[in-house]
């Protein structure tokens, strides 16, 4: 078993409903080392903080090559499993995405259903599932079970009527699970009832977003969450502290 295969296996096993893995969302080698030094056993790279760190806008304002450069810097700096937010795929095919991620040392990915390069349209449920299927097939062909986290932006976008939004998210993510997703990510802030319904009805471990200084791990665990990531909020919190420190000198 290769090093990447081992890391992918370890990473997948961390996803336990009711005992969630906390995966700090980092953006460079410095933040990655900071998180590992604090005791975390796996990391995610978020598109928003990475984009900010290289002077690009979120929403595929950076290129996949720019992202991979940063991924390699992180995987060279730490030995823990690393997952990468690849947004909607940067207009590339699944084979290209998997090849690039594995060459850069990543063992997991987030794939969202907002297509930034096409006017921010939302992929249909079937289209998103097909993309997930392609990612799974090419990862399996490469011999590494890349942990695929299928994300839907229905809640962020407030797409359609609120009354059936949870129903539509569940239906969409179930298709992604059937296509090979390992983890399902209904990104957004949810009520306790909605989160419990999502974790109860979705057939794979569920990723929830956590706000580093206000969210409660025990609460998310009680809701059945299996994975917690921070999106851009760790970077935002550190920025506020940096502003406070710098303000003393202006």
Any domain includes 108: yes
5: pLDDT confidence band, cut at 50, 70 and 90? very high
pTM above 0.85, yes or no: yes
Residue among 208, 249, 215, 231 nearest 50 (CA): 231
Q: Considering the domain boundaries, does residue 133 fall inside one?
A: yes
Residue 47 maps to a domain: yes
How many angstroms separate the CA atoms of 50 and 82, rounded?
14
Considering its fold, how many domains does the chain have in total? 1
φ, ψ at 208 (rounded to 5°): -125, 150
Within-domain flag for 175: yes
The per-residue pLDDT for range 39-67, each reduced to its tens digit, is: 999 999 999 999 999 999 999 999 999 99
In the predicted structure, residue 1 carries a pLDDT above the cut 90:
no
Three-state DSSP class for 85? Answer: strand
Question: What is the average pLDDT score of the chain?
Answer: 97
In a domain, residue 218? The reply is yes
Domain encompassing residue 66? 3-233
Structure tokens at 124: 């249909």
The domain spanning residue 153 has which CATH number?
3.20.20.60
So what's the pLDDT on residue 231? 95
Q: Where are the beta strands (DSSP E) in 112-189?
A: 114-115, 121-122, 147-152, 183-186
């Amino acid at each position: 078993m290769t090093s990447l295969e081992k890391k992918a296996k370890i990473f997948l096993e961390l996803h336990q409903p009711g005992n969630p893995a906390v995966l700090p969302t980092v953006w460079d080698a410095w933040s990655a080392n900071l998180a590992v030094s604090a005791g975390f056993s796996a990391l995610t790279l978020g598109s928003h903080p990475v984009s900010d760190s290289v002077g690009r806008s979120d929403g595929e304002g950076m290129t996949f090559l720019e992202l991979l450069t940063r991924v390699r810097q992180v995987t060279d700096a730490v030995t823990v499993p690393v997952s990468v937010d690849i947004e909607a795929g940067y207009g590339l095919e699944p084979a290209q995405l998997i090849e690039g991620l594995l060459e850069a040392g990543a063992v997991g990915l987030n794939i969202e259903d907002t297509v930034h390069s096409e006017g921010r349209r939302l992929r249909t449920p079937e289209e998103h599932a097909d993309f997930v299927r392609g990612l799974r097939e090419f990862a399996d062909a490469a011999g590494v079970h890349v942990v695929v986290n299928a994300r839907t932006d229905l809640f962020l976008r407030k797409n359609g009527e609120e009354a059936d939004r949870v129903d539509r998210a569940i239906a969409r993510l179930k298709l992604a699970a059937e296509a090979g997703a390992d983890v399902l990510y209904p990104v957004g802030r949810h009520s306790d009832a909605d989160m419990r319904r999502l974790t109860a009805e979705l057939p794979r471990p569920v990723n929830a977003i956590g706000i580093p200084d206000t969210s409660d791990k025990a609460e998310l665990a009680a809701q059945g969450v299996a994975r917690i990531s921070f999106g851009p909020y760790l970077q935002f919190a550190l920025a506020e502290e940096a502003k406070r420190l710098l303000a003393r000198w202006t």
